[in-house]
Amino acid sequence: MSETVLEIKDLSVRYEDCDVEDLQVMDVSFEMKKGEILCIVGESGSGKSTLIKAIHGMDRTRVVNGTIEAFGKDMSGLSKKDRRTLMGTDIGLIPQNPYSSFNPIRRYEVQFKEALSAQKMEYDKEKILSVFEKIGLHDGERILKCRPYELSGGMNQRIAIAVAFLFEPDLLMCDEPTSALDVTTAGMVVDELVKMKEEQNTAILMVTHHLGIAARMADHIGIMKNGRMIEYGPAKQILKNPQEEYSRKLMEDVPRLKR
């Protein structure tokens, strides 16, 4: 299968309340097929999170130039409502700081019901609990009765990941999904993501500053600096033989997680 899921062409993005010339993403192009993991690596401020936000059309991002096509649909041409219906089961997102991606003062139970019903999915408690187990959340019954503000950052982050798993999207975008997790749990999450790709043929777009994570799961790697994608290619090639000076420096700086 080599069906194209996401196609980005000459994309330039800025934030709504910033000046016109102040672009966060410049001339970025790439393509993702089903069952492919693309990791975009860069320092903070390189524009990698903005890229994900722009694909969602959220957080006041403005596409200045270029196109975003998901499942053959031009995203910027979609109405707000049509775009919203794509979210969840078609395009999933594990946002940056996922521990603040839930309403802090409503119980998880109602929030799960709300999200599932928006996707026209059944609220199946057993299924939720089993997804929780996979990423090390053992006290699922209690968690569902809790409000997000009562739980730790790492717990909330894993719950956000659990929702993404539950939706089984065709395209999953992850923005630093393991920022609040310890190394072991982060490893568990990465393994589950890889398993998801293998079992469900999910395309995963992962944004991280952690080259080690990219090395462990990526099929393709893109390296971003100052809003530009300065290097893009198969993971092995990029890791072994980076072309750009900056990429080489990045490889040296980051301690690699060995397979």
Partner 1 sequence: MSKRKKRQKIKIIIATIFALIVVVVGALANFIAPHDPNATNAMLMRKAPSAEYLFGTDNMGRCVLSRVLDGARITLASTFLLVAISFLVGIIIGMLCGYYGGIVDTILMRIADLMLAFPQMVVAIAVAGILGGGIFGAMIALGITMWTGFARLARSHTLSIKNEPYITAAKLNGKNGMQIIFGHIFPNIVENVLVNALTQIGTTMIGLAGLSFLGLGVTAPQAEWGSMISEGRAYLQLAPWVVIFPAIAIIITIIIFNYLGDVVMEYRRMD
Partner 2 sequence: MNVKKQILKKIIELIILLVVLSFLTFMLMYLAPGDPVEKKLSAQGTAISQEVLEAERERLGLNRPVLVRYAEWFAGVLHGDFGVSMTDEMPVGPRLAAGLSNTMVLALSSLIVALIVSIPLGILSAVKQNSILDHIVKLLSFIGNALPNFLISVLMMYLFCIVFRVFPVVANNSFNGLFLPAISLAIPMAGRFTRQIRAEIISQLDSDYVTGLRTRGVKEKDVLLRNVFHNASPHIFTIIALQIGTLMGGSVIIENIFRWPGIGRLVMEAINGRDYTTISGFVLIMGTIYVVINFLSDLLQQSMDPRSIS
Residue 19 binds which one of partner 1, partner 2, none, with CB within 5 to 8 A depending on kind? partner 1
CB of 112 to partner 2, least distance (A): 10
SS3 content of the chain, % helix, strand, coil (to 5): 40, 25, 35
Distance between CA atoms of residues 226 and 42, nearest Å: 9
Pairing relationship of beta strands 61-70 and 73-74 according to DSSP bridges: antiparallel
Candidates 2, 6, 65; CA nearest to 222 is 6
Between 22 and 253, whose beta carbon lies closer to partner 1? Answer: 22
Alpha-carbon span 251 to 240, nearest angstrom: 9
Q: What minimum distance in Å lies between the beta carbon of 90 and partner 2?
A: 9
Residue whose CB is less far from partner 2, 116 or 250: 116
Q: What is the enclosing helix (H) or strand (E) of 245?
A: helix 245-253
- Separation of alpha carbons 100 and 59, rounded Å: 15
Residues that bind partner 2 (CB under 8 A): 56, 58-59, 80-81, 84-89, 92-93, 95, 97-98, 100-106, 114-115, 118-119, 147, 149, 160, 163, 167
- Cβ at position 100, least distance to partner 2 in Å: 4
Residue 206, binding choice from partner 2, partner 1, none, Cβ under 5 to 8 Å by partner class? none
Q: Interacting stretch for partner 1, rule CB under 8 A, among 11-19, 28-36, 94-102, 210-218?
A: 11-19
Q: Which CB sits closer to partner 1, 16 or 126?
A: 16
Alpha-carbon separation of residue 115 from 129, 151, 155, 171, 243 (angstroms)? 16, 20, 18, 18, 44
Per-residue x/- track, 12-51, partner 1 (CB under 8 A) = -----xxx--x-----------------------------
Q: What is the DSSP letter of 254?
A: S
Binding of partner 1 by 245 (CB under 8 A): no
Q: Which residue has the tokens 């798993």?
A: 165
Q: Which is nearer to partner 2, 10 or 59 (CB)?
A: 59
The answer to whether 128 touches 140, Cβ cutoff 8 Å, is yes
Q: Binding partner of residue 18 among partner 1, partner 2, none, CB under 5 to 8 Å per kind?
A: partner 1
Report strand pairing: 37-41 vs 203-208: parallel
Sheet of 171-175: strand order equals 73-74, 61-70, 4-15, 25-33, 228-234, 220-225, 37-41, 203-208, 171-175, 91-94
Smallest distance, Å, CB 19 to partner 1?
Answer: 5
- Residue closer to partner 1 by CB (options 2, 44) is 44
* Identity of the residue, 22 or 245, whose beta carbon is nearer to partner 1 in the bound complex: 22
Of 132 and 220, nearer to partner 2 (C-beta) is: 132
Binding interface with partner 1 (CB under 8 A)? 17-19, 22
